[in-house]
Amino acid sequence: MTSKPKILVTGCAGFIGFFVCRRLLEHGAEVVGVDNLNEYYDVNLKRARLAEFEGRAGFRFVKLDVADREGVAGLFGAESFEKVIHLAAQAGVRYSLTNPHAYVDSNLVGFANILESCRHGRVKHLVFASSSSVYGANTQMPFSVREGANHPLSLYAATKRANELMAHCYAHLYGLPCTGLRFFTVYGPWGRPDMALFLFTRAILEGRPIQVFNYGRMRRDFTYIDDIVEGVARVAERIPAPDPAWDGNQHPDGASGVAPYRLYNLGSHHPVELMEFIETLERKLGKTAKKELLPLQEGDVPATYADVEDLVRDTGFAPRTSIEEGIGRFVDWYREYYGV
Ligand SMILES: NC(=O)c1ccc[n+]([C@@H]2O[C@H](COP(=O)([O-])OP(=O)(O)OC[C@H]3O[C@@H](n4cnc5c(N)ncnc54)[C@H](O)[C@@H]3O)[C@@H](O)[C@H]2O)c1
């Protein structure tokens, strides 16, 4: 009998982590899930996600802060993980303007702890969450992983870009295979209460105005959760090897290197105008939104658009869920979960 691969998923009580765990369990993996259950948003939602795994064979939850150096080392000392999918982080662009230290602790100290433990634990593949926000001031669309991403506009973005650089260094120095995924505005059932779709839905149903930034002149490559999970699962199966074609002289490609390291965009490749997104939501809710038009928020970018060529080439997968379908499924979940 072959033993099941043991996979560590950090941020398992979070939006994306929850779905990634579910997918891995469905495919027969043994999953250890770590989360510190912090109160950045409603902790009941995190607990409710975890409750879905109660009594489920193959899943174990460990409450742990990844910034706790001894705690992380202790976990890796006690368990042997084949792969690590690192999703725990302080998320959110806007919150990073007022709570910078939360990002330093979780995203920089926490990430260093994960890297060190993966190195000493001889993990075969570390897959970690980066973000489309690393493109910052870049304006050439679609955003390509091959281009530089050197002008972050928020500390959140800077910590995610730092993660990519730290991972490259560990891939190079210690041969730790690392893949970074730049997620583009993820939405869907069980989503994050601090993000636009959730905030809009709640406000519209309660008859309160929604805040529409940059006067609605925003384009986002909204990406449905199932597409994100499919991308994560496929990438996790592909352990990166050194890229023999990489050339440090002629415009070095930022997405690979002579180390076992890859970066991919994981976005729908179909940017949508914010107003179209809102109209779709209004239709699904059967209610019109009162709109408060506001300037662009500091730290935010007006547009995102993912080039997914490398993802398609290497995994054969491209996100495919339309916002019509995705928003519909979110609204169905929201109404059922909150009974409204
Ligand atoms: N949702 C998106 O649109 C999006 C876009 C780009 C990148 N990302 C990244 O994807 C990952 C998952 O995002 P999400 O949307 O599921 O967010 P989330 O906040 O729902 O999930 C993150 C989880 O990590 C946990 N966590 C935070 N700090 C921790 C720490 N120090 N130790 C242990 N656990 C900790 C939180 O309690 C939470 O449950 C994050 O790294 C995020 O930055 C998300």
Distance from residue 243's CA to the centre of ligand 1 (Å): 30
Q: How far apart are CA 256 and CA 242, in angstroms?
A: 8
Tokens at 149, concatenated? 């991403």
334 is catalytic: no
Q: Ligand 1 pocket, 266 CB below 6 A?
A: no
Nearest atom within ligand 1 for CA of residue 183: 6
Structure tokens at 101: 């230290």
CA distance 149 to 139: 11
Ligand 1 geometric centre to CA of 10 (Å): 9
- Per residue, the 3-state secondary structure of 70-114, as one string, reads HHHHHHHHHCCCCEEEECCCCCCCCHHHHCHHHHHHHHHHHHHHH
pLDDT per residue, tens digit, the chain (340 aa), is: 457 889 999 999 999 999 999 999 999 999 999 999 999 999 999 999 999 999 899 999 999 999 999 999 999 999 999 999 999 999 999 999 999 999 999 999 999 999 999 999 999 999 999 999 999 999 999 999 999 999 999 999 999 999 999 999 999 999 999 999 999 999 999 999 999 999 999 999 999 999 999 999 999 999 999 999 999 999 999 999 999 889 888 778 899 999 999 999 999 999 999 999 999 999 999 999 999 999 999 989 999 999 999 999 999 999 999 999 999 999 999 999 999 9
What is the predicted pLDDT for the residue at 2?
Answer: 56
- Kindly state the tokens that stand for 318: 């491209």
- Pairing type for strands 125-131 and 219-220 reads unpaired
Closest-CA residue, ligand 1 atom 1, reads 186
Residue to mutate (ligand 1; options 72, 163, 179, 186; most atoms within 8 A of CB): 186
Q: What are the pLDDT digits (tens) for 49-87?
A: 999 999 899 999 999 999 999 999 999 999 999 999 999
Q: List the one residue out of 164, 80, 68 whose CA is nearest residue 118.
A: 80
